């Protein structure tokens, strides 16, 4: 899996399940493989710094196949309870099989150097001196992302260590119980999970393959972060000026989780949802997610959808850097760069403007991102409020019972406070 990520920029969470099935791994073996693979992806920056120090050369000078072995070995040494002797021996054996005895000696030497210090001692030896840089190194994040989190925390930037630690931990699996099909209480009983804290449809699982669960196989439940559920629910709870005629729109629907939850809620009242997704393969994922629901999928660009204006409620869950969902995408933190933000901000602004044009007077747009990064969140909303004359609602009121989501009028969820992805959401109403 590490080779697939390194050589062809594969997505770890797509590659690994297929490999586990192909190799026939299950139970504790699958759990260990997942921990090593995802853990090594998440911890890349810290692991590479220790490897470079132990090797006395830069990472770029080390053969790729050996680098994969070294990353696995150093991860076991510094971030698991696997014994040092076992971690070194298995890594050396793997290097010998991959590259021969000579290269195995090199791996042995580097790992023995890595094992000479505790994780805390390595942080002390290699981390930058500034507080943000030190925390970024300790919790294996690029410095620019740690700084973006600190900026978003504002006056509570002292929580940065807690955010990064939560982001670096293995997250629980969140399920959503489809309204009208099964309750969260029933889903928790069937799956052995625990009912969620914030969403009335959420259930937490400690692990395992959710795809094997009967309610998931039968379409009564799906995997969906609780924060994403709260975004969809906020749209349904926002107070309109005038009657809800039942025309709802998800303008950025792929891969379909929020569209499915909106569709299930809409079905209860006889409403319909339009779901827009420009990429054909992702639109197909939306169709599978909303099967048997009153949802119409449109394969068009949301900025020029050709849809008839007059929607009561529109969700703009905009494409973003995904900085708030890094804990579920192990390798993503090392792929994103500050340069990505510029083009995304332009796209976010254009999508929100397009949604505004499709909204009826008195209707509500909920803008959301799975990123707390200020240029993608409060800056986009402030710009739209100024340009479009939007009335910004207090989004906190659309999250009943959810505590500590900021000073308003937007709301920010955090993994260390809420156990969710770091979702941002804001509700804008169109004046009559």
Please identify every residue annotated as catalytic.
370
d(CA 432, CA 423): 29
Distance CA 288, CA 222 (A): 11
What CA–CA distance (Å, rounded) separates 359 from 205?
Answer: 38
* CA–CA separation, 66 and 124 (whole Å): 26
Residues 6+ apart with CB under 8 A from 346: none
Rounded CA-CA distance 189/340 in Å is 43
To which H or E segment does residue 427 belong?
A: strand 424-429
Query: CB-based burial of residue 278 (10 Å sphere; 0-12 exposed, 13-18 middle, 19+ buried)?
Result: middle
378 three-class SS: helix
Cβ atoms 76, 40 nearer than 8 A = no
- 294 neighbors 269 (Cβ within 8 angstroms): no
| Nearest by Cα to 377 from 354, 334, 411 | 411
- CA-to-CA distance for 198 and 162, rounded, in angstroms? 20
With beta carbons less than 8 A apart as the criterion, state whether 71 and 48 touch. Answer: yes
User: Maximum CA pair distance of the chain?
Assistant: 76
């Amino acid at each position: 899996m590490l080779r697939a990520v390194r050589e062809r920029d594969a997505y770890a969470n797509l590659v690994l399940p297929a490999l586990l099935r192909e190799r026939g791994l299950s139970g504790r073996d699958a759990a260990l493989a997942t921990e090593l693979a995802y853990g090594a992806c998440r911890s890349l920056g810290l692991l590479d710094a220790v490897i470079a120090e132990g090797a006395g050369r830069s990472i770029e000078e080390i053969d790729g196949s050996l680098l994969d072995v070294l990353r696995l070995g150093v991860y076991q040494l510094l971030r698991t309870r696997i014994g040092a002797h076992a971690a070194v021996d298995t890594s050396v054996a793997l290097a010998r099989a991959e590259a021969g005895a000579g290269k195995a000696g090199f791996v042995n030497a580097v790992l023995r150097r890595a094992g000479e210090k505790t994780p805390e001692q390595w942080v002390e030896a290699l981390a930058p001196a500034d507080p943000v840089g030190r925390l970024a190194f300790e919790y294996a994040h690029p410095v620019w992302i740690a700084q973006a989190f600190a900026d978003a925390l504002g006056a509570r930037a002292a929580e940065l260590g807690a955010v990064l630690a939560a982001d670096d931990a293995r997250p629980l699996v969140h399920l959503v119980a489809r309204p009208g099909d099964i309750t969260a209480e029933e889903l928790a009983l069937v799956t052995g999970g625990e009912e969620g804290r914030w969403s009335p449809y959420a259930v937490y699982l400690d692990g395992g393959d959710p795809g094997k669960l009967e309610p998931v196989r039968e379409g009564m439940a799906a995997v969906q972060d609780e924060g994403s559920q709260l975004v969809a629910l906020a749209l349904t709870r926002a107070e309109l000026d005038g009657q809800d005629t039942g025309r709802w729109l998800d303008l950025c629907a792929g891969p379909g989780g929020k569209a499915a939850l909106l569709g299930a809620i809409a079905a209860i009242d006889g409403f319909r949802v339009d779901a827009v997704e420009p990429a054909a393969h992702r639109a197909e994922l939306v169709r599978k997610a909303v099967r048997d629901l009153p949802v119409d999928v449109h394969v068009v660009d949301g900025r020029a959808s050709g849809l008839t204006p007059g929607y009561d409620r529109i969700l703009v869950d905009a494409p973003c850097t995904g900085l708030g969902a890094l804990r579920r995408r192990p390798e993503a933190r090392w792929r994103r760069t500050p340069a990505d933000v510029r083009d995304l901000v332009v796209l976010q602004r254009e999508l929100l403007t397009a949604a505004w044009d499709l909204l009826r007077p008195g209707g509500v747009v909920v803008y959301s991102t799975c990123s707390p990064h200020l240029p993608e969140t409060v800056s986009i909303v402030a710009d739209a409020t100024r340009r479009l004359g939007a009335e910004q609602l207090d989004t906190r009121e659309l999250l009943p019972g959810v505590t500590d989501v900021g000073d308003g009028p937007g709301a920010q969820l955090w993994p260390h406070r809420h156990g969710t992805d770091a979702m941002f959401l804001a509700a804008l109403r169109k004046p009559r």
